[in-house]
Amino acid sequence: MLLKEGQVRIPAGCAISGIFHKDGKKENGERIIKSISTMHDRSNGLGGGFAAYGIYPDFKNDYAFHIFYDSNRAKDECETYLKENFDIIAMAKIPTRRHPRITDEPMIFRYFVQPLQTVLAFSQLDEKEFVVRKVIHANHNIKGAYIFSSGKNVGVFKASGFPEDVGEYYMLENYEAYSWTCHGRYPTNTPGWWGGAHPFALLDTTVVHNGEISSYDANRRFIEMFGYSCDLLTDTEAITYIVDYLNRRIGLNYSEIANVIAAPFWSTIEKKPEEEKKRLTYLRNAFASLLVTGPFSILVGFEGGMMALNDRLKLRSMVVGEKDETVYIASEECAIRIMQPEFDKIYAPRGGEPVILTLNKGGNAQ
């Protein structure tokens, strides 16, 4: 029997692309779809997806849950669970258009929620931790339900199919975002479950990832100590949890996170000035089990920013182009040239050296 994703670990190769407007200007999903479609051959039609930031200005203070349901039973069960813990401000089917190449679709719903204050107070958790635990609990325990997007003013849209088809299917031309990331997947074998597509998300952290990490089980077994549950057995899910843990729980900033997950080699650290050497040694030693090895290039989206990062040997390609206040990042240069033929600056970041983009002060991303 062919095992479903989550029952077996499936390695994958891929393509990624991203757009970030530092001035907070928004654009719809058309250009990012065009970008990922140029790298069609890097995907094999078994998974594509997008993350878009700033798309829910009317609900910007509510957690936006995007959920796949396999059945009405799963939907009932999940909604009961949600109602026990959250105030549901609004809910609706996520609009999609019929698409010849997107089939076997689950039910896809969107909920804007607020934690129930009494339940939250009783849990003695801070609000974000409360939301995280509920999301992980639902994904781990409710069969046939999968919350694949859970941040504020951000949404993940993904499916089994080629990414450009997925974009059309979700009608991304109707969403305006200051930051877009997207992903085309090339899993080596998969029954093509929708949940297995990228981006992976937890709260406002979303990750698209190209590569296969060799440290997977070391990372997974470590991060699961802290209440995360890597149910899908994919690298990207683990990376998402690692970033969430280091940022939200530990308090590291994104450049420090890069120094942990793509830590410089000891021989490189050795050559740094004393202070920097101490800092890097500390980060590498204190969070040793979260070092990620093997090839990867990732785009991490977060509220108000984006980080692009390559593994420390740079075993996966990635190109960054800057034009005015907009930054374009993709696995291949053609994928950014199609969005923007001319750049003020174009470069390939070195392995382990993060490109961290944030909104300019006063940049309006609402």
Partner 1 sequence: MNMLYPQFEVIRNPSRCINCRACERQCANEVHGYDENLKIMTCDESKCVNCHRCVAICPTRALKIVKTDHTFKENANWTEKAITEIYRQAETGGVLLSSMGNPEQHPIYWDKILINASQVTNPSIDPLREPMETKTFLGKKPGKIERDENGNLIDNLPPHIELNMPVMFSAMSYGSISYNAHAALAKAARELGICYNTGEGGLHKDFYEYGENTIVQVASGRFGVHTDYLNAGAAIEIKMGQGAKPGIGGHLPGIKVGADISKTRMIPEGTDAISPAPHHDIYSIEDLRQLVYSLKEATNYKKPIMVKIAAVHNVSAIASGVARSGADIICIDGYRGGTGAAPTRIRDSVGIPIELALAAVDQRLRDEGIRDKVSIVVGGSIRNSSDLMKAILLGADACYIATAALLALGCHLCRTCQTGKCNWGIATQREDLVKRLNPEVGAKRLVNLVTAWNHELEEMMGGMGINSIEALRGNRLMLRGIGLTQKELDILGIKHAGE
Token representation of residue 263: 């830590």
Q: Which residues contact 230 (CB under 8 A, 6 or more apart)?
A: 220, 223, 224, 237, 238, 241
- Alpha-carbon distance of 283 to 89, in angstroms, equals 41
Per-residue contact flags (x/-) with partner 1 for residues 325 to 364, judged by CB under 8 A: ----------------------------------------
Per-residue contact flags (x/-) with partner 1 for residues 74 to 103, judged by CB under 8 A: ------------------------------
**Does residue 265 touch partner 1 according to CB under 8 A?**
yes
Q: Which residue, 101 or 279, has its beta carbon nearer to partner 1?
A: 279
Token representation of residue 318: 């990635």
Q: Which residues contact 250 (CB under 8 A, 6 or more apart)?
A: 287
Q: Which residue, 121 or 286, has its beta carbon nearer to partner 1?
A: 286
20, 162, 180, 287: which one binds partner 1 (CB under 8 A): 287
Question: Residues 218, 289: contact at Cβ < 8 Å?
Answer: yes
Interface stretch with partner 1, choices 57-65, 128-136, 274-282, 354-362 (CB under 8 A):
274-282
Q: Which residue, 151 or 352, has its beta carbon nearer to partner 1?
A: 352
Q: Name residues contacting partner 1, limited to 10-39 (CB under 8 A).
A: 11-13
43, 215, 297, 310: which one binds partner 1 (CB under 8 A): 215
**Does residue 226 touch partner 1 according to CB under 8 A?**
yes
Token representation of residue 70: 């396999």
Residue 218 phi, psi dihedral angles, 5° rounding: -65, -45
60, 272, 279, 323: which one binds partner 1 (CB under 8 A): 279
- Residue positions annotated with a catalytic role: 14
Which residues of the shown chain bind partner 1 in the complex (CB under 8 A)?
9, 11-13, 188, 211-212, 214-219, 221-222, 224-226, 250-252, 256, 263, 265-267, 278-279, 282-289, 291-295, 312-313, 315
